[in-house]
Amino acid sequence: MREITMAQAIKEAMSEEMRRDENVFLMGEDVGFYGGAFGVSVGMFEEFGPELVRDTPISEAVIAGAAAGAAVTGMRPIAEIMFSDFTTIAMDQLVNQAAKMRYMFGGKAKVPMVLRAPIGSGTGAAAQHSQSLEAWFCHVPGLKVVMPSTPYDAKGLLKAAIRDDNPVMFFEPKLLYRKKGEVPEEDYEIPLGVADIKREGSDVTIITYGRMVQVCLDAAQELAKEGISIEVVDPRCLLPLDTETLIASAKKTGRVLIVHEACQTGGFGGEISAVISASEAFYYLDAPVKRLGGLDVPIPYCPELEKNVVPTVETVIAAVRKLL
């Protein structure tokens, strides 16, 4: 099968959906002629023109709010926020407006919008351009929250997000944009809320998502050399969460480590941990459920500091050893 990057897979998903459905369009800062800050939409302006690939002013609140307004009146907007850190400026529109319209209006509205945003550290962009704030949005009923870890998942999940009748936060790990993977050319959808077992194993379950999936797979590879068998489960979608798959894996291995890039305190790992501990998997556990998140600090600039703020292959291996 052909291999393309995650950025290309995302662009392919958007382009195919725009060809299929005239209500789908893209808007955001510099997404047009420039092709997006990370080059995700390069070439789309040429194919679809300025009406459907819309450059906006630097105005995150109205980007998100206008997406909600367009969605509730019949369009299916994809809004790009240049860095997920900037969703802070759009919070009212996402949390108070888009997420709640349907419920507040007694089910008489639907808000089919996708808000795409690059997420995570590792680019030397420091504290205001490197955060992983996905847990905030998981606390808001009405939103869906997705984070792919491979180009294949990115294409299928984004298509499902665009076709979904709810506001979907689609977080794209920016360090994965240039990573290649196998992606079919044909149309396919990955339903939101279905986890994927990225590596089967029997000794320890690592539940992880986004950029940390590859880090954990690399750690699993290392540990396999010592005969330690790791299962890596990627929920892919945090809201709704495929609790069934996570619990089944926990029952199977009896040991669970949750890994994410976001600060550990208040991170989504706490939710996953609680889901497992409160389930029947509890009776199968041979060790307490452990979390390995980012350090509870803003992301520092210096590359030597930055790389150790988030979990690494080494710290994942060390955390696994503590479980055994």
Partner 1 sequence: MKIAKKKLLKMYNNMLLTRKFENQVAYFFSMGVMHGTTHLYVGEEAVASGVCGALAEEDQITSTHRGHGHCISKGIDLNRMMAEIFGKAAGCCKGKGGSMHIADLSRGNLGANGIVGGGHAIAVGAALTTQMKKQDRIVVCFFGDGSTNEGSFHESLNLASVWKLPVLFVCENNLYGMSTSTKRSMNIEDISVRAASYGMKGKRIDGNDAVLVYEETKKARDYVQKNGPMLLVCDTYRHLGHSKSDAGAYRSKEEVAQWKEKDPIKILGQYLVDNNYVTQEDLTAMDKQAVSDIEEAVAFAKESPYPEQDTILEDVYA
Q: Which residues are catalytic?
A: 129
237 close to 144: Cβ distance less than 8 angstroms: yes
| Contact flag: residue 33 with partner 1 (CB under 8 A) | no
For position 194 contacting partner 1 by CB under 8 A, the verdict is no
- Of 61-69, 124-132, 215-223, 226-234, which part binds partner 1 (CB under 8 A)? 61-69
Of the candidate residues 69, 122, 173, 201, the single one contacting partner 1 (CB under 8 A): 69
How far is the C-alpha of 324 from the C-alpha of 142, rounded, in Å? 39
| Nearer residue to partner 1 within complex by CB, 103 or 282 | 103
Q: Which amino acid is at 65?
A: G
Would you count residue 133 as binding partner 1 (CB under 8 A)? no
72 lies in the binding site for partner 1 (CB under 8 A)? yes
Helix (H, G, I), strand (E, B) or coil at 208: strand
Question: Alpha helix locations (H) across the chain?
Answer: 6-20, 44-52, 60-72, 91, 101-104, 134-138, 151-163, 212-224, 243-253, 268-277, 303-306, 313-323
For residue 199, the SS3 value is: strand
Binding to partner 1 (CB under 8 A): which residues in 137-166?
141-142, 144, 165-166
Minimal distance in Å, beta carbon 98 to partner 1?
9
Residue 46 or 165: which CB sits closer to partner 1? Answer: 165
Copy the structure tokens of residue 294.
């980012």
Specify the DSSP class assigned to residue 72: H
Where do contacts with partner 1 occur on this chain (CB under 8 A)? 25, 51, 56-57, 59, 61-62, 64-75, 77, 89, 92-93, 96-97, 101-112, 141-142, 144, 165-166
